Amino acid sequence: WAQQSPIPNYPPSRSPSVVAPRRRPRARRFARLRLHSLAPLPFPPCPQITRAIHRSTMAAAHATMHQICILFLLVCAISSQDSAARSPQSGDAPATQFSIPLQKQYVPVQKGGKVVAYKTAYFGSLQVGGEEPRQTFTVVFDTGSGHLILPSTSCRSETCGRHRRYSRAASPSAVDIEYDGTLISPDAAERDQVSIAFGTGQVLGEFVREVVCLGDGEGAEAKSGERGCVNLRVVLATEMTEDPFGLFAFDGVLGLGLDALTLAPQFSFFAQMAEQHPAVQPRFAVYLARNDGGESRITFGGHEELLASSELEWAPVAMKELGYWQVKIKSVRVGSTVVEDCADGSCRAILDTGTSLLGVPRQSARSLHKMLARQVAPERYDDAASIDCRTVAGRR
């Protein structure tokens, strides 16, 4: 959360800008955009959260922090007017929804040869291309960034080689473009690139306009003929840093942040879904299962009511010009202990599905970490190196 000021340690604005050209074997203009996501933090989180969020009317539901498991329902919508106009009325046909199962991956964080925490990632499938066979990828659906980023076959690094890479030559629907959508001439000597900085890494990429479809082509949405396909500007990564992209099983990132996190609205999958599919409610929901064996999912066009523990409530996004799904925090407590730093209601927090850990200002980290510490049974003291904190119950 942040107190009194915008998000600490982050740039005051997320607006992209074009800077000086960066030269490569073929001269290329260079656009730079710095974003935040996938940041590893020093201690594991223990939130159990239910959230209902809206771009113009958003409210945070009650949050408690105890065990290392997450029950998380995040519902985001573009605008209250659009949502109200498209909400199904009594007797109407059911609203169109696209629901994508999410896989979970644990990545251990080591310090001094010991595992001190785990990063987790929830990712699902999408396909790229206007004709069969489409190219299938796994992506993190990331509310903390704004672009669809896929590794390109032109990326020859070991990091890119660990993932499925997008082949421009294999897609007849692909159109090479500059960042502003301008078509690239076949004999052009240069083209735009973008540098996108995440919490612990960076991507350098170029641009195409493509058809992007939800799912892997084998689920219920494919059988019904409803694929949730949109025309979208895509960032094709020509360079990806080892950390974090070499550590995770997913191929790329699908950003679901607000327009301020994109070079242009045409890069936003969520915005283009709302614009190109007017029959679909401009909402998406993320559900993270309580247990590893449960099925997590992301749903576009609404939410699955059976997965919600209460009715939705809406409240405004705080400082939406920064591009994040950011909310005011009324209070934070661990068990029955209220965290004093936010007792006056001045804190804010970003709900970021691309980050698995709980990030707080440095001055709050030590006391909060102590409150979240777990009591280990004395009989296990002699074998401390083998203790996995995920198996130690937290306070209730």
The catalytic residues are: 142, 352
Structure letter (DSSP) for residue 316: P
Location of structure tokens 């240069």: 190
With vertex at residue 259, the alpha carbon angle to CA 253 and CA 261, rounded to the nearest 5 degrees, is 55
Residue 177 in contact with residue 183, Cβ under 8 Å? yes
Strands 230-240 and 283-288, sheet pairing: unpaired
272: which 2 tokens?
């283009």
Q: How far apart are CA 26 and CA 9, in angstroms?
A: 35
Q: How far apart are CA 289 and CA 381, in angstroms?
A: 31
Residue 47 in contact with residue 358, Cβ under 8 Å? yes
366: which 2 tokens?
């030590």
Length of the chain, in residues: 396
Residue 126 in contact with residue 273, Cβ under 8 Å? no
Classify each residue of 14-27 as buried b or exposed e, where b means 16 or more C-beta atoms within 10 Å of its C-beta: bebebeeeeeeeee
Cis amide leading into 244 (omega within 30): yes
Strands 135-142 and 252-255, sheet pairing: parallel
Q: How far apart are CA 310 and CA 112, in angstroms?
A: 44
Residue 107 in contact with residue 120, Cβ under 8 Å? yes
Location of structure tokens 């479809």: 213
Q: How far apart are CA 76 and CA 173, in angstroms?
A: 30
With vertex at residue 120, the alpha carbon angle to CA 152 and CA 294, rounded to the nearest 5 degrees, is 110
Q: 10 Å Cβ neighbour count for 79? A: 14
Burial of 361 (0-12, 13-18, 19+ CB in 10 A): middle
